[in-house]
Each structure stands twice: as C-alpha cells, then as structure tokens.
Structure 1
Amino acid sequence: MRHIKLFISSFLLVLLLSTSIPGYAEIKIGVLAPRGKLKAIKRWQNFGIYMSEKLGDTVTIIPLPPVDVISTIKSGEVDFILTNPVHTAQIVKMHNGKTLATLNKSAGPFFAGVIISKKGSGIEQAEDLSGKSVMSLKFKTAAGAYTFQTYHLHVKGINPHKDFSSMRSGKKQDDLVLAVKAGVIDAAFIRSGILESMSRENKIKMDEFIIVDKQKSDKLKLAHSTRLYPEWYLTALENTDSEISDRTKKFVLALTPQHPAAISARINGFVEPISLNEIVVALTALKIKPFDQ
C-alpha cells in the first residue's frame, strides 16, 4: 500500500510540474499564406520562435491559404490569426475576435490594391477594363487582391462581374501576374508589394506592366491603384485566454526591426491596431457578409 501511495504521489507531482513548466502548452497562430504555405513558413518561422521564447510556451505557426481562414476560425484550430483586414473585420463581427496589433511592414502599416495590365495593352485607366478578361484572388474574401480594387471600381460605377468580358479567381497572386505577362488574361488584381517581390526574385521586370489608375502616396511608396488600408491584423480568437492575449500583444509590440524574426518576415514589427472603419465602409458598399444587411 505504501508503494502505491508513493507512486500516486509521484505521478501527481509529475503531472503538476508538466502543466506548469514553460514549454508545456502549445499556442497556435494561424498566418495567411497568399503565396503558398512554404513561403509562409519560411517567412514566419522565426516569429514563432521569438514568441515561444517570450511566452515560455511552444508557439506553432499554421500557414493558411486564403480559402481556409474562416473555416479554420470556425473549427477553433488556432488561438490567434494573422490575416488581412477583410478577414479581420469578419472575424471581429462574426466570431468576437479581438484585434491586438496591426502589422508594420518595411513599407509601413498600410497597403493597397494594384490593378495591372501588360505593357502595350492600352489598359491604363479603370474605364479601359470594360470588356476585358480579369483575374483576382477569391471573390469577397481577398483584401488587396479583390476587395480593394472592386470597391475602387464600384466608386467609379464599374462592376467587374458585369462590365468585364470575364472575371475569374485564382489561387496565387504570382500566377495572376505571370498570366498577365503571358497575355493569357488582360489584367489582374494583386496586393501592393507583389510586383516588387517578384522583381527581386527575377520572375518579372517592373517595366513589363502598367499600373492601372496609378496612385501616389507619402505613406506607401510601392506601386498601387487604390486608396490605402491598414495592413494585416493579429487577432485573438474568442476562446483564447485573456492573459495569454495580453502577453502576446505586449511581446509583438516589442518586436524590433533588427530582430531576426522581423528580418525574416520582412517587417518593422507591429503597431497598435488601426481602425477597421474604412474596411467596413468598403465591405458594406460591396454587400460582403456579414456587412450585407
């Protein structure tokens, strides 16, 4: 009996220690992967290491294709989500998410939509897109590769789904760019920064394309066609422990541009969450759920 009691006491002690020592819990951060899972893992794995070290728990980065973000939220598979402002507005509205911080990229905490056409196509203004073949990412879900451009055109009285000869969605922005380059389609919707990234990777040359309705802004030096919107948000999901959320916010805001996690992610860090009001205005005008009532 004495041996049994000793075994039970030892087991309870091990159990108590295992649930309290750092590194036992696992925290999952879903990260939008618009250019594919492998690129997302390569970009954000050091961020996961940084957060693991700061929180004292294992932080796992879960790369999510755009089409999987909302279903992953519904299933409760992740504790936090780093994704675009369209997803964020939907998550806050429908799933009681709490925004913790806005991404501050090397280009700043704002981004925009880009409409590209092939050089020499004669497509330079929004009105030139009438009757043309165009592609974007997933309708009513993508931010910088659908929603921003569609709202930009909506304000001008243009409906991509009615006024173009075809409006189709693709899975990767790189593929859309290459399709325009090859002349397979007339134009494409992509987010700001994609052209510049592909140019650095020697996949394209910037002067092979026209930026339709080209804009200029002191807040964003990258090529763009639409107004500016806040960058991606880090959001805590409804059932995430509030103490972990508070500590997570503290450490992401403390991330410096010189840290390896920021360097590999090509960001300057994070800033306090920027208002979602402008996103909600666009989603409401376009009647995108849950802002369609």
Structure 2
Amino acid sequence: MQSLMADEYTVAVRAHYGVDYAIKRWQPTIDVLNKEIPQHYFNLLPVLDLQEISVIAGKGEFDFLLTNPSSYVEVKNLYGARALVTLNRKRGHTSQDRFGSVIFTHVSNKDILNIQDLEDKTLIAVSNKAFGGWRVALLEMLELGFDAQSDVKEIMFTKSKTHREVVSTVYSGGADAGVVRTGWLEQMEADGNLDMRYIRVLNNQYIFDFPFFLSTRLYPEWPFSVLKHVPDKDANLVSDTLLKIRKESVAAKSAVYIGWVKSRDYSSVQNLMIKLKNR
C-alpha cells in the first residue's frame, strides 16, 4: 500500500534468515533509494514466511517487493506485480543473474550415481516452497521420469529452512541425498565447512558461462518488483536508481551483489509453477 503520507513507500523483502539479517543485508539498498529519490521515503518490511508475502500483498501492505522468482510470479498472477530489475549476485569471483538447483549425495553412497538411483532413498530439501532449494529440482526430476514425491522413501525438509542444514545432514549421513541452490556447495567449501571431495553431484550439467555445480536448467535471479497501484514515474525512478548501484557501494557489499540488471524474462518460472501445480 501507499502509506498514510503520500510520499512513503514500503518495500517487502523475503527474510529467509530472519528479520535482523534481512535488515543488515538490505537496509543499505533502501538507504540508496532514500538518498537518490528524496521526494519519497522508502521503508523496509522483512517478511519471514514465503506464503505470508501473497497474503499481505492482498491486504495492500507493501508497494515494492524483493523475493524469490516463484513468490514474485505468484504475486504477479494474483495482484499484478511487475518486475523492474533482476538481482545480479556476487557468487565467488563471478556475477550471476541466473541460478538453479544441485542434487547431490555423499560419495560413500556408492549405489547412488544418478537420479533414478534415488528410488527408495531419503532426500532432504530446504522447504516445500523453496525455489532453488526444492521446486526447481523437483521439476527437473519429473522431466527425467523420476517422481520424487512417490519414488523416494522419504522427503525431509529442514527445520531451519536453510541450505546449510541440507548439506550438513547429507554430509553426516542423516539423509541419502539433498537439494540446494547453485553456489552453496562451493561457498561452504570456501568457508572451510565442506570438503567437495566427499560430494557427488547427480545429473551434473555443463554450461559454458556458469561456473558452479548444476543439476537443472537455470532460472532468472530474484526480481525487484512493483505493485500495479504505484505510478509508473515512481517505479521508473526506483529501477533507474537500482541500475546505477555499483559493486563497490555499501549497498552491494552488504547484500553481496554486483548490481542490478534490466528485468529478465520470468516465463520459465511461470511454466514451472504451472507444471508443479498441486505439488
């Protein structure tokens, strides 16, 4: 919604690691908007639960939204959100505006060499609604002729709703295989929390300009979107400001991104959601 004062806007952001972390990560980007667009004031609204985003969108509680691709498409379908720009993340020494999922196991599981070998095995993912942490991999497996929801022994979801818990559970033998978004395995190894020699990636894909382990197709990164009630001139001010943010800025360093790019095409996400409807 537009706030009681006509020059105020609320930016909702998916706070998957908690409110405090979301504020630390994203408030500097909001500060840039406030500095560069002084005729408006932008408030940050961290939202903990993915499903809550669509609920509060329906109540008109925010004007702009930063969330994962499937959450954005849901708000787009229900309330007319429109992507303005796409996040260009810093991953290792690269910039990435696309991501996917990695399906992996521990190398000690010598009987798990491909997706079909997951039959009657245990599989852990971030959460049922996680995009890179589950939904992308679920569709990929379905299109390979493997229905994880009926073919595996058990699907487990993390209590913390984090990729780190997925990796630690598989690494310690608590599950036979796991699903995380791309870049996580490499990041945990760089941080000294994982030895990739003990990880086997299933259905590994090679894409020339994507330097991370990958088991699926790629999808566009998180969009910064606007609700339909916001005037175009204000939406354009926001997108123009975000596109000018540079990697050396406090905003980019705080949220670990290189910058923003013009909005990518989210039709692939829409197609995924159609295919996974009721799953």
Q: Name the TM-score class by shorter chain.
A: 0.7 to 0.9
User: CA separation in 2, counterparts of 1:45 and 1:203?
Assistant: 28
- In structure 2, the residue matched to 1:40 is 22
Pick one of 61, 64, 71 that aligns with 1:77: 61
Alpha-carbon deviations, 1:105-136, whole Å to 9, x = none? 12321111111212321323111111111122
In the alignment, does 2:167 pair up with 1:183?
A: no
1:192 Cα deviation (Å)?
A: 1.0
- In structure 2, the residue matched to 1:7 is none
In the alignment, does 2:35 pair up with 1:53?
A: yes
- In structure 2, the residue matched to 1:14 is none
- In structure 1, the residue matched to 2:122 is 133
Alpha-carbon deviations, 1:225-258, whole Å to 9, x = none? 1111101111112333433212111111111222
- In structure 1, the residue matched to 2:140 is 152
1:259 Cα deviation (Å)?
A: 1.7
In the alignment, does 2:73 pair up with 1:89?
A: yes
Cα pair distance change 1:110/1:288, threshold 3 Å = farther
User: CA separation in 2, counterparts of 1:241 and 1:199?
Assistant: 45
Q: Does the 8 A contact of 1:103 with 1:109 survive in 2? A: yes
1:32 Cα deviation (Å)?
A: 2.0
1:76 Cα deviation (Å)?
A: 2.4
Give percent identity, aligned residues only.
24
Show the 5 A alignment for 1:104-119: 104-106=88-90, 107-119=95-107
**Structure 1 length as normaliser, TM-score?**
0.83
Of residues 244-253 and 71-80 in structure 1, the stretch that sits farther from structure 2 once superposed is 71-80
1:34 Cα deviation (Å)?
A: 3.0
Cα pair distance change 1:288/1:48, threshold 3 Å = farther
Alpha-carbon deviations, 1:83-108, whole Å to 9, x = none? 11111211111111011011111232
Cα pair distance change 1:29/1:199, threshold 3 Å = farther
Q: Secondary structure at the match of 1:154?
A: helix
Cα pair distance change 1:51/1:200, threshold 3 Å = farther
User: CA separation in 2, counterparts of 1:255 and 1:208?
Assistant: 39
User: CA separation in 1, counterparts of 2:56 and 2:198?
Assistant: 38
Q: Which stretches in structure 1 are left out of the alignment for 5+ residues? A: 1-18
Letter in 2 for 1:93: N
Show the 5 A alignment for 1:1-293: 25-56=7-38, 57-67=40-50, 68-106=52-90, 107-122=95-110, 123-139=112-128, 141-170=129-158, 171-287=161-277
Q: Does the 8 A contact of 1:34 with 1:173 survive in 2? A: no
Q: Does the 8 A contact of 1:66 with 1:142 survive in 2? A: no
Q: Secondary structure at the match of 2:136?
A: helix
RMSD, aligned α-carbons: 2.1
Say which one has the larger Rg.
1
Alpha-carbon deviations, 1:149-191, whole Å to 9, x = none? 0110011111111001011322222212111112111112111
Cα pair distance change 1:245/1:271, threshold 3 Å = same
Q: Secondary structure at the match of 1:50?
A: helix
Cα pair distance change 1:187/1:65, threshold 3 Å = farther
Q: Secondary structure at the match of 2:76?
A: helix
Letter in 2 for 1:163: D
Letter in 1 for 2:136: F
Q: Does the 8 A contact of 1:138 with 1:169 survive in 2? A: yes
Cα pair distance change 1:43/1:226, threshold 3 Å = same
Answer 1 or 2: which has greater helix percent.
1
Letter in 2 for 1:41: I
User: CA separation in 2, counterparts of 1:243 and 1:214?
Assistant: 44
User: CA separation in 1, counterparts of 2:57 and 2:41?
Assistant: 20
Q: Which stretches in structure 2 are left out of the alignment for 5+ residues? A: none
1:204 Cα deviation (Å)?
A: 2.5
Of residues 73-82 and 126-135 in structure 1, the stretch that sits farther from structure 2 once superposed is 73-82
**Structure 2 length as normaliser, TM-score?**
0.87
Cα pair distance change 1:255/1:88, threshold 3 Å = same
User: CA separation in 2, counterparts of 1:42 and 1:125?
Assistant: 40
Cα pair distance change 1:276/1:61, threshold 3 Å = same
Q: Does the 8 A contact of 1:108 with 1:219 survive in 2? A: no
